[in-house]
Amino acid sequence: MMAKSLTKFIITALIIAALTYVAFYGITLFGKTIPSALDPENGIRRGLDLTGGSVITYEAEAQTVTDEEMNTAIDMLRQRLDTLGYFEATITRQGEKRIRIEIPAISNPEEAVQKLGATAELQFVDPDGKVIITGKDVVDAKAQYGQYDPAKPAGNFVSLTISEEGTKKFADATARVSKNENKDAGKNYIAIKLDQEIISQPFVDQEITTKDVVISGSFTAESAGWLANLIRAGKLPFSLKDVELRSVGPTLGEKALETSLMAGGIGVILVLIFMLIYYRIPGLVADIALIAYIAIVAIIMAGFRVNLSLPGIAGIILSIGMAVDANVVIFERIKEELRAGKTLRAAIDAGFSRAFTAIIDANITTLIAAAVLWKFGTGPIKGFAVTLSIGILTSMFSAIVITRFLLRQTVGMNIKNPKLYGA
C-alpha cells in the first residue's frame, strides 16, 4: 500500500514536472506541436498594450446608418482582418458611425488601412471560376429560422433576394450547375466569395428561377447571421473613411509587463513558502497543485493562442489567488475534522466534502461575472474575462482533483501525524 501510494505520488509529480517543461519550452509529439507559452510567434499572443501596434478608426460616409448596416460593416472588417492574418485584432463600434480597430504588432499599417477600407467585392462563382452575379445583384440577405422546405424540419437558414437582372443569370447558372454530370463529379456548387475568399459554398440540386433563394445547411443562428452579414457587406450603402491612424508604442506595456511578471513571480514564491510553513504536508501538496495549475493555464493559453493584455494578466493573478483560496478552505476544514477526533483519511474526505459546496459556489459566481464581462465588454475587458475563466476552471481542477489525489497518497505513505497536517 505504501509503495503503491509512493509510486502514484512520484508519477503525478513527474507528470506535473513534464507539464511545466512543456509550458516553458514547448514540445512536438506525433507531428503536433504545443508551443512554448513564452514564444512570441506561436505561443501566447500579446495584446496592443504589450507589443504596440496601430489604432485605426473608420467612419461611415453616410448621413444616417442603421445598426444592421454597422454590424454588417464590422463583420466585413473582421473577415478582412482574418484574411490578412490579423487574428488578434479587436474591433469595436464607437458612437453611431465609427468603428475602431486595434491591431497589435503590425509592420505596415498603411497597407492594412487600404485593404480594410476598400469596397467589399462579393461574387457568386461557378465551379469553372465564372462569375455569375456580384454584390450589385444582391438586394438583401437575412438570417432566418423556420421551415423553408415542407419535407424538412425547421432550422436556421439564409434568405437571399436577388435583383430581376441577377435572377435570370442565376437561373441559367443553377440550371447548368445542377446537371447530373456535375452532381456525379461533386461540382454542383456555387461558391460565394468576398474579396476572393470563399465564405460559403452551397450545393445546387435544381434550377432556381425565383428571386428568393434559400441557403440551407447546418447553420446555427450565429453562423447564419454571420453569412448574411458578409453577403450584405457586398452591397454596403456607404464607404468607410479612415479618420484616425495612430501608432501605439509598446514602451508602457513592456514596463508594465516586466513589473507585472516580477510581481506575479514574487507573489507566487511567497505564497508557496507560506503554504508550506503554515500547512506543512497539505501546504506541500498545494504547492505542487499550484505549479500544475500554472503549467496547465500556460499550455491552454499557448495552445489556443489567447490574446494576452495587461487586464488579462490581472485575470490570471486573480485566479491564482482563487486557486490558493480554495486550498486554504479545504485545509481549514480538514484541521477542524482532525480536532474533532476523526482519523486522517476520514478528516480529508470530510474536509473536501464540506469545502466542495463553498468552492463551487464561489467559482460559479465568478464565472458568471466573467461571462457577463465577455458578453458585453470589448477588447482588453474580454481578454480579462477569458483569462479569468480559464484560470477559474483550472483552479477548480487543481484544488478538487490534484490536491485531493496527492493528499490521499500521503496518507497511503503512512504520513499520518496530525501535526504534519496543521492540526
Per-residue pLDDT tens over the stretch 305-332:
787 777 888 888 888 888 888 888 899 8
- φ/ψ of residue 344, rounded to 5: -60, -50
The pLDDT value given to residue 415: 82
Q: Residues of the chain whose pLDDT is less than 70?
A: 1, 83-85, 87-88, 105-109, 111-112, 114-120, 234-237, 249-257, 378-380, 422-423
* Lookup: cell for 368: 458568471
For 122-255, strand residue ranges (E) read 122-125, 131-134, 138-146, 155-162, 191-194, 197-200, 212-215, 240-248
Q: What is the largest CA-CA distance in the chain?
A: 87
Find out whether 158 and 244 touch, Cβ atoms under 8 Å: no
Residue 228's φ and ψ, nearest 5 degrees, are: -60, -40
Nearest-5° Cα angle at 267, 261 to 268: 90
Residue with cell 504596440: 52
* 145: phi then psi, degrees, rounded to nearest 5: -130, 135
Q: Where are the alpha helices (DSSP H) in 248-343?
A: 251-279, 281-303, 310-339
Query: Distance (Å, rounded) from C-alpha 249 to C-alpha 234?
Result: 35
214 Cβ partners below 8 Å, 6+ apart?
A: 148, 149, 157, 158, 159, 160
* Helix, strand, coil % in the chain, rounded to nearest 5: 55, 20, 25
53-389-387 Cα angle (round to 5): 25
- Grid coordinates of 303: 495552445
Predicted local distance difference test score (pLDDT) of residue 117: 61
The predicted pLDDT at position 251 comes to: 56
CA-closest candidate to residue 20, choices 423, 406, 315, 398: 398
Q: What's the CA gap between 289 and 272, in Å, rounded?
A: 10
Find where cell 477526533 sits. Answer: 341
pLDDT of residue 11: 94
Distance CA 305, CA 160 (A): 36
Report pLDDT for 394. 93
Q: Where are the alpha helices (DSSP H) in 32-163?
A: 48-51, 67-83, 109-117
d(CA 352, CA 383): 32
Rounded to 5 degrees, what are φ and ψ at 95? 65, -150
Give the pLDDT confidence of 213-236 residue by residue, as tens digits.
999 888 888 788 878 877 877 666
The three cell numbers of residue 408 are 490521499
Distance of CA 35 to the CA centre of its chain: 17
Residue 365 has a pLDDT of: 92
140 forms beta bridges with 161
Q: What contacts 393, CB < 8 A, 6 or more positions away?
A: 367
Residue (of 285, 283, 275, 287) closest to 409 by Cα position: 285
**Which phi and psi (to 5°) does residue 140 adopt?**
-165, 160
What cell does 341 get? Answer: 477526533
